[in-house]
């Protein structure tokens, strides 16, 4: 390790220090969001300068004490937002906008239309289609009234998400699970919302509750 660091040192001390710490930081912040990278840079630079103030300290010893930047990067990715998570958080704002800020007419009429179509199919004796539209209407009603529901605490948000996932899987089952086509489509249909939900779970663990946008509760 010491040999590796020594190999990268140049004759000008100032340039060597910046390049060595800079390359450590570059590796340790790989894949993190812009805000996370700035946070890491500030704290590691502060730590590095504090280490250099110790009597007998050298740049080499300060760099050695920091350890492997890959290990630090792995730990940072578990504690701070990655760039993918920050992007998903920005993009998930469209969902909460749709649910919480949709026009009144959409919130009122869309579920009514779904229930009306369900009644039509029920009357025609097509129970499966009636079930799909009734179930779909119930789910859309739930999502549209989310802005008024007292779900914006972590525990209640969890309950809302369980109900929402139950609705999503129920829709799939009612629509025709059991047919070969549905079996074939099931992994594809479930993969995207599953990935989305696991990424949002990771974001919930990394952000303090006070900083949660509404989309994280839904």
Query: Which residue shows structure tokens 């949709």?
Result: 102
CA separation for the pair 47, 64 (Å, rounded): 13
Binding mask 172-191 for other proteins (x = CB under 8 A): --------------------
Find the binder of other proteins among 75, 97, 153, 198 (CB under 8 A).
75
Among 13, 78, 128, 156, binds other proteins (CB under 8 A): 78
Closest CB to other proteins among residues 51, 129: 51
- Shortest approach of other proteins to residue 9 CB, angstroms? 19
Question: Contact between 5 and other proteins (CB under 8 A)?
Answer: no
Region from 120-128, 137-145, 177-185, 204-212 binding other proteins, contact rule CB under 8 A: 204-212
Binding mask 28-67 for other proteins (x = CB under 8 A): x-----------x-xxx-xx-xxx-------------xxx
| Among positions 34, 58, 61, 71, the unique one binding other proteins when judged by CB under 8 A | 71
Residue choice 79, 124, 184, 190 for contact with other proteins (CB under 8 A) = 79
Smallest gap, in angstroms, from Cβ of residue 68 to other proteins?
7
For residue 160, give every residue at least 6 positions away whose Cβ sits within 8 Å of its Cβ, in sequence order, or none. 146, 149, 151, 217, 218
* DSSP string for the chain: -HHHHHHT--SSHHHHHHHHHHHHHHHHTTTB-HHHHHHHHHHHHHHHHHHHTSTT--HHHHHHHH--HHHHHHHHHHHS-BHHHHHHHHHTHHHHHHHHHS-HHHHHHHHHHHHHHHHHHHHTT-HHHHHHHHHHHHHHHHHHTGGGSS--SHHHHHHHHHHHHHHHHHHHHHHHBTBHHHHHHHHHHHHHHHHHHHHHHHHHHHS-GGG--GGGT-
117-125, 144-152, 171-179, 206-214 -> range binding other proteins (CB under 8 A): 206-214
User: In the complex, what is the shortest distance from the CB of residue 77 to other proteins, in angstroms, rounded to a whole number?
Assistant: 9
Q: Which range, of 69-77, 160-168, 176-184, 193-201, touches other proteins by CB under 8 A?
A: 69-77
Rounding to the nearest 10 degrees, give the CA dihedral for residues 174, 176, 182, 183: 80
Q: What is the binding site for other proteins (CB under 8 A)?
A: 24, 28, 40, 42-44, 46-47, 49-51, 65-69, 71-72, 75-76, 78-80, 205-208
């Amino acid at each position: 390790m010491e040999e590796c660091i020594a190999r990268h040192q140049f004759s000008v001390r100032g340039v060597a220090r910046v390049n060595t710490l800079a390359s450590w930081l570059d590796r340790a912040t790989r894949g993190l969001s812009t805000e996370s990278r700035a946070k890491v840079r500030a704290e590691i630079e502060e730590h590095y300068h504090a280490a250099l103030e110790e009597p007998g300290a050298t740049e080499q010893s300060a760099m050695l004490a920091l350890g492997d930047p890959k290990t630090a990067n792995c730990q940072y990715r578990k504690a701070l937002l990655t760039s993918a998570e920050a992007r998903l958080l920005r993009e998930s704002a469209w969902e909460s906008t749709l649910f919480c800020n949709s026009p009144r007419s959409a919130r009122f009429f869309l579920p009514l239309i779904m229930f009306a179509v369900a009644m039509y199919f029920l009357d025609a004796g097509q129970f499966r289609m009636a079930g799909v539209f009734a179930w779909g209407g119930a789910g859309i009603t739930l999502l549209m009234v989310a802005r008024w529901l007292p779900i914006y605490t972590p525990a209640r948000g969890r309950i809302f998400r369980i109900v929402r996932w139950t609705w999503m899987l129920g829709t799939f089952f009612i629509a025709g699970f059991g047919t070969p086509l549905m079996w074939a489509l099931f992994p594809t249909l479930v993969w995207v919302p599953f990935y989305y939900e696991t990424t949002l779970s990771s974001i919930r663990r990394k952000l303090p509750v006070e900083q949660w946008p509404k989309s994280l509760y839904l």
